[in-house]
Amino acid sequence: MLDVRRLRLLRELAHRGTIVAVAQALAFTPSAVSQQLSALEREAGLPLLERSGRRVVLTPAGQNLVRHAEAVLEQLERATAELAGARRGLTGPLRIGTFPSAGRTMIPAALTALAREHPGLEPMVAEIDPAGVADAIRAGELEVALIHEYDFVASRPEPGLATEGLCTEAMYLASAAAPAGATHLPSAGTGLAGPAAISRCRDAPWITATPGTMCQQMTIHACQAAGFTPHTRHQVDDFTTTLALVAAGQGVALVPQLGLADLPPGVALTQVPLHRRTNIAYRSGAGSHPAVTAITAALRSAVPNELGTAP
């Protein structure tokens, strides 16, 4: 009989790539992970791992077993959800991941609604970059998280992760509202729209998010679609800081609707034909868990009226 806990370790190794990374994520020592994987190989009766330089890679048998492990773990989530539904009342911690702009604008209202309907739940919110959500949810560090994707940067399907749409935001080009006679930065102007507004800023310094984030990739791809590669002057992940830099004449930036909550004076906005979509993510099979359905309903009630809601 294959041990489910060891199957989970194998699944994590397939996603994280190294035994050290699996150990760090799941609070094991690397030697303990190695021992458990060796025991799984004995249970399976054939090699599941092989060395490739300093890394360990899965054999074809190991890859096949990971696919079965995904199905087994998803079914266990369904069983857990069914058992939770048979209990009366919702209690205990509910760990929720969010990105900052959603944390400022939607999470407080969602938690208020959740407390009103399910006072026994103890929500625990943590900011996390959407790129790290899949690992955190698979590892059990989060039950639910908000993630986003852009028109130019769609998120790829993640094994072990299920998602459902929450809302859609418009995107805006933010530029300094230049005083009369100033020519050092282009003003997008309210009469421009779409690629024309972005293209007009080809010679301006740009403010992007930090490298590797979806926000940064979105700006690069949007500018490339307008025919140029942006000259990045500042790299900032917080939209409030980004807008303050725009107001100071330090560059232009693309900002989603939720990022405009603290719009400073002196910033001109032009809507462009791009969108950011926010999704709710949780472990595959956990969608019917009462705590997941409760926070999902609370999040839907907290979507600002001006945003487009997902069906």
Q: DSSP label at 241?
A: H
Are the CB atoms for 275 and 168 separated by under 8 Å? yes
Domain range list for the chain:
4-84, 91-311
Contact 230, 219 (CB under 8 A): yes
Using one digit for the tens of pLDDT, what is the confidence trace for 216-227?
999 999 999 999
CB count within 10 Å of CB 160 equals 20
pLDDT digits (tens, 9 = 90+) for 130-149: 888 998 999 889 999 999 99
* CA–CA separation, 201 and 209 (whole Å): 17
**Distance from C-alpha of 274 to C-alpha of 75, rounded to nearest angstrom:** 37
Q: Does residue 63 carry a pLDDT above 60?
A: yes
pLDDT recorded at residue 186: 41
CATH number for the segment(s) 4-84: 1.10.10.10
Q: pTM score, two decimals?
A: 0.82
Equal CATH topology for 4-84 and 91-311: no
H/E element holding 173? Answer: strand 161-176
% the chain with pLDDT above 90: 58
28-32, 89-93, 253-257 — which one is most confidently predicted on average? 253-257
By CB neighbour count within 10 A (0-12 exposed, 13-18 middle, 19+ buried), where does 290 fall? middle
Reply yes or no on whether the pLDDT at 117 is more than 70: yes
For residue range 174-205, what is the model confidence (pLDDT) as tens digits? 999 855 433 333 444 444 455 688 999 999 99
Look at residue 12 and tell me whether its pLDDT is greater than 90: no
For 177, the token pair is 């509202």
Give the mean pLDDT of 238-264. 93
CATH entry 3.40.1390.10 includes domain 91-311: no
Q: Is 232 exposed, middle or buried (0-12, 13-18, 19+ CB in 10 A)?
A: middle
Higher pLDDT: 291 or 178? It is 291
